Structure 1
Amino acid sequence: MEAAALALIERDMAEVETLLMSVTYSQVDMVTDIGQHLVQAGGKRLRPALYLISAKGLQTDTGLDQAIVVAAAIELIHMATLVHDDVIDHASTRRGIPTANSRWGDHPSVLAGDYLFARAFALLAKTNDNRVMKELAEVVCSLCEGEILQANSAFLADQSEDDYAMRIAKKTADFLAASCQLGAMAAGMEAAAVQAVRQYGYLVGLAFQVTDDILDFTASAPQLGKPVGGDLAQGIITLPVIRALEVSPHREELRMAIVARDMSDPVLNRCLAIVRDCDAIEYSYSKVQAQLREAIAGLPASLAPEAQRALVAIADFVGLRKF
């Protein structure tokens, strides 16, 4: 992520990393190995970053001792979902390195993901804040619902943009919204400002996921850290595909391939070309830019200037990212 977005919370994020390494230790060596492999794999740390910036929303020089704990718990929840996703998807790489399931197998990886969930909520219990516990429990429920919706809609060509929006809201946007909301609550913002910061997170989350889905068609495998076209290969119908099924002169060919569930390499490559050759990518980027403009425009005036700049920088990163 851009340095401008993280300068405000650089020291806090370093403390989060230290805590993540500490809480993934177990008396069982394999659990420690998997947990620390996941931490060291890195990532954007977008959710804890949004939480910490929002927590500094009114007064950026305040201490954040308890906020470090919540931020680490947020990232542990995200890590747990990624482990489970990789098992479900039979993924062999993420961020350019082997997934836990490819190194240790599915069974240990699922249990390691469960371990990370438990560790996250054990950390949250230390805060004695039931609002935080409740909100993040709801996030986990939403994530599960999103995954089920995605599985049930695989290889279904007749999906609307509303169907897609509901799915990515549950898979991504709700979590970013909650991260921002909890940070704003920790900062002591008024209810209207908390809701505005939450809406910023929700819109940035939608834009983040749409961008992710675009990159599945436009980025290279080294940029993605995983194979290109992986979503379509699994029958996941994203916004670029929905648009191509509406406007491409080859939309019937694309539809037939999806319905046939035949995503062998030649068929997948042809489908990727059909999506790229119409306006699906440009159309999807236009949605991203509209969501980000709305997100920035809705930020409350009460935000401290440094926090406002950091949130704008994150929105800019989401719109321009190539990985």
Structure 2
Amino acid sequence: MGREKLLCGADVHDVGDKTLKNDIFDVIKTDLEAFEAELAASVVSETPLITDVGEHLVSSGGKRLRPALFLLVAHGGAAFDRARAMPIAIALELIHTASLVHDDVIDEADTRRGAETTNAKWGNQVAILSGDYLFARAFKLVAEGNYDAEVYSKLADLVGTLSEGEILQDHTAYQVPESQNVYYERIRKKTADFLRICCELGGMIGGMSSADTERMALYGHAIGMAFQITDDLLDYRQTSEDIGKPAGHDLAQGFVTLPAIRALEVLDEPQRVELTALITNPKMTEDEVTRALAIVRTTDGLDYAQEQADIYLERAKEALPESLAAEIRETCLMAADFIGRREF
């Protein structure tokens, strides 16, 4: 599979044994088209530089997975209203984008999605303040929507949890986690809680029952865990051209993820000592990163991580409520399959 986009045009996606023509989220195609236009409008400022930065960020692509899941789940309820749902969809993407901008500054990243990062193009100060601007725009959009207090509370919790995840990741950089549970906690805060809240808010805004909303939240959490495990796998499996950032980038940044954690559990003593020395060294050279990747690939670390992602995806599918309309259920299943087999 090439670098097809998740949410565009007539690309062909291989998902397991199924070939999908067009968009996985075709059932909400009209909503996503409206979303793109409103997202672009949301970053326009009276200050030209801020508009330029905002346009650079929202035009650089991305899977739009978070707003797509939110809109999809909202469609699964009996009270879907696009006008009421759209500000939250945009806010979710702006929060996600803002977190990536700050993340790129912390990581000193030069590229993301194959494009120049904001910090590389305009410097760290503009990048950090641009992220802050996107957070502010997100909450202003929601504040103008007159939603229930629970909506605001969940979005605030989301930003807090994202920050906790980044702090935890930074604090544990170049350290071997004490257990896999430490890794799972980190990816829950970084990714899974975000997708859980997207699905939960979708159920609430769409008018689902409390029970069905909770099941969709479980679905979101499970695919979020699988998404991050799969993302971490790409650091070992793919090339810079495939994933839009340097291969082994996460490892070089000190992020010890599930493939390496598993490798350390099964390697013999000499190789375990060598790998530990490599991945805990903040001054790893490119050759040392390559060597660390090679050691992990000699073990079942990649296959093990894929198996754990698949377990989460099965949990996601089992969580789907029986009341979902057939087309919504099928799209949820296809999204899960895509996440499990994506190559970018």
Q: TM-score range by the shorter chain?
A: over 0.9
Matched, 1:58 2:77: yes
Matched, 1:27 2:55: no
Identify the match of residue 112 of structure 1 among 114, 130, 139.
130
Matched, 1:281 2:299: no
- 1:101 equivalent in structure 2: 119
Q: How many angstroms does 1:190 deviate by? A: 1.3
- Distance in 1 (alpha carbons) for counterparts of 2:58 and 2:96: 11
Q: Deviations over 1:178-199 (max 9, x none)?
A: 0000001112111111111000
1:116 is matched by which residue type in structure 2?
L
Matched, 1:310 2:328: no
Name the structure, 1 or 2, with higher relative contact order (CA <8 Å, separation 6+).
1
Contact 1:4–1:313, Cα closer than 8 Å, also in 2: no
- 1:41 equivalent in structure 2: 60
Identify the match of residue 228 of structure 1 among 219, 232, 247.
247
Matched, 1:195 2:214: yes
- Distance in 2 (alpha carbons) for counterparts of 1:158 and 1:135: 29
Q: Equivalences for 1:254-265 in 2 at 5 Å?
A: 254-265=275-286
- Distance in 1 (alpha carbons) for counterparts of 2:77 and 2:140: 28
- Distance in 2 (alpha carbons) for counterparts of 1:313 and 1:8: 12
2:316 is matched by which residue type in structure 1?
A
- 2:103 equivalent in structure 1: 85
- Distance in 1 (alpha carbons) for counterparts of 2:301 and 2:283: 22
Contact 1:55–1:184, Cα closer than 8 Å, also in 2: yes
Matched, 1:295 2:316: yes
Matched, 1:174 2:208: no
Instruction: Give the alignment's Cα RMSD to 1 decimal.
Output: 1.2
Matched, 1:68 2:89: no
Q: Deviations over 1:8-46 (max 9, x none)?
A: 111111111111111101111111111000111010000
Q: Which moved more, 1:183-192 or 1:140-149?
A: 183-192
1:72 is matched by which residue type in structure 2?
I
Contact 1:47–1:74, Cα closer than 8 Å, also in 2: yes
1:227 is matched by which residue type in structure 2?
P
- 1:204 equivalent in structure 2: 223
- Distance in 2 (alpha carbons) for counterparts of 1:187 and 1:108: 37
Contact 1:59–1:304, Cα closer than 8 Å, also in 2: no
2:104 is matched by which residue type in structure 1?
D
Deviating beyond 4 angstroms after TM superposition, the runs of 4 or more aligned structure 1 residues are none
1:32 is matched by which residue type in structure 2?
T
Higher helix fraction: Structure 1 or Structure 2?
Answer: 1
Q: How many angstroms does 1:159 deviate by? A: 3.0
Identity of aligned residues (%): 46
Q: Deviations over 1:95-126 (max 9, x none)?
A: 00100110000000100000000000000012
Contact 1:92–1:102, Cα closer than 8 Å, also in 2: yes
- TM-score in terms of structure 1 length: 0.97
- TM-score in terms of structure 2 length: 0.91
Contact 1:80–1:116, Cα closer than 8 Å, also in 2: yes
Contact 1:5–1:309, Cα closer than 8 Å, also in 2: no
- Distance in 1 (alpha carbons) for counterparts of 2:65 and 2:326: 20
Unaligned runs of 5+ residues in structure 2 are 1-5, 7-12, 14-21
- Distance in 1 (alpha carbons) for counterparts of 2:72 and 2:281: 46
- Distance in 1 (alpha carbons) for counterparts of 2:331 and 2:30: 15
Q: Which moved more, 1:276-285 or 1:243-252?
A: 243-252
- Distance in 2 (alpha carbons) for counterparts of 1:281 and 1:159: 19
Q: Deviations over 1:134-179 (max 9, x none)?
A: 1011000000000000011011124311000000000000000000
Aligned length: 322
SS in 2 for 1:5: coil
- 1:322 equivalent in structure 2: 343
Q: How many angstroms does 1:5 deviate by? A: 2.4
- Distance in 2 (alpha carbons) for counterparts of 1:39 and 1:302: 35
2:275 is matched by which residue type in structure 1?
L
